[in-house]
Amino acid sequence: MARKVKVHVYLKPGVLDVQGKAVEGALHSLGWPGVANARVGKMIEFDLADDVADPEAEVKRMCETLLANTVIESYRVEVA
Amino acid sequence: MARKVKVHVYLKPGVLDVQGKAVEGALHSLGWPGVANARVGKMIEFDLADDVADPEAEVKRMCETLLANTVIESYRVEVA
């Protein structure tokens, strides 16, 4: 069985989240004024072969290389 | 204190996930052949005012109205 990997990628605090602002504005217009601080992030899920040694470190390398733009984004890795 | 709400939006199984395919292809090219079944989803987080009655139902209505395209997407709601 392959391992299930989940990567959450979200903008660092302080970076303007235009997509989040758009969602918040739309929810306000639709009649939900109680919504605040909306942020939109990405979630990448995949299966990783069992023969990969040290999967956590390997997935971290994937994030640094491809999955996250570490200048403005943070990530969190879950390997199950 | 406002409630923290997390909404995960992902494509329904069977719907072709082109973004996931692109991520998978890129990871293969970068030297990680052990990656399979990559899927990319969205995560929307926001604060919800305490005076909202039945927050779970209310957030579900937000998903149906705006946050998810229920023809091709599923969602999961977490209210903390």
How many folded domains does chain A comprise?
1
Helices (H), ranges, chain B: 18-29, 55-62
State the smallest CA–CA distance between residue A20 and chain B in angstroms. Answer: 8
Please check the confidence at residue A1 and state whether its pLDDT lies above 80.
Answer: no
- Are B43 and A42 inside 8 Å of each other by CB? yes
CB atoms within 10 A of CB A62: 24
Instruction: State the average pLDDT over residues B11-20.
Output: 95
Instruction: State the average pLDDT over residues B18-41.
Output: 96
Looking at residue A6, its pLDDT comes to 96
Query: How far is residue A21's CA from residue B60's CA, in Å, rounded to a whole number?
Result: 20
The alpha-carbon radius of gyration of chain B (Å, integer) is: 16
Q: What is the CATH number of the domain that holds B49?
A: 3.30.1280.10
- ipTM metric: 0.88
Tell me how many degrees the CA angle B11-A13-B55 measures, rounded to the nearest 5: 55
Give the model's confidence band at B24: pLDDT under 50 very low, under 70 low, under 90 confident, else very high. Answer: very high
Instruction: List the single residue in B34, B52, B66 with the smallest CB-CB distance to A48.
Output: B34
Cβ atoms of residues A1 and A80 within 8 Å:
no
Structural domain range at position A42: 3-79
Question: Which chain B residues are Cβ-neighbours of A39 within 8 angstroms?
Answer: 44-46
For the stretch A43-63, pLDDT in tens is 999 999 999 999 999 999 999
Looking at residue A10, its pLDDT comes to 95
Residues 27-56 of A with CB under 8 A from B: 27, 30, 32-49, 51-52
Looking at residue A7, its pLDDT comes to 97
Please check the confidence at residue B6 and state whether its pLDDT lies above 80.
Answer: yes
Instruction: State the average pLDDT over residues A63-68.
Output: 97
Please check the confidence at residue B1 and state whether its pLDDT lies above 90.
Answer: no
How much of chain A exceeds pLDDT 90, in percent? 94
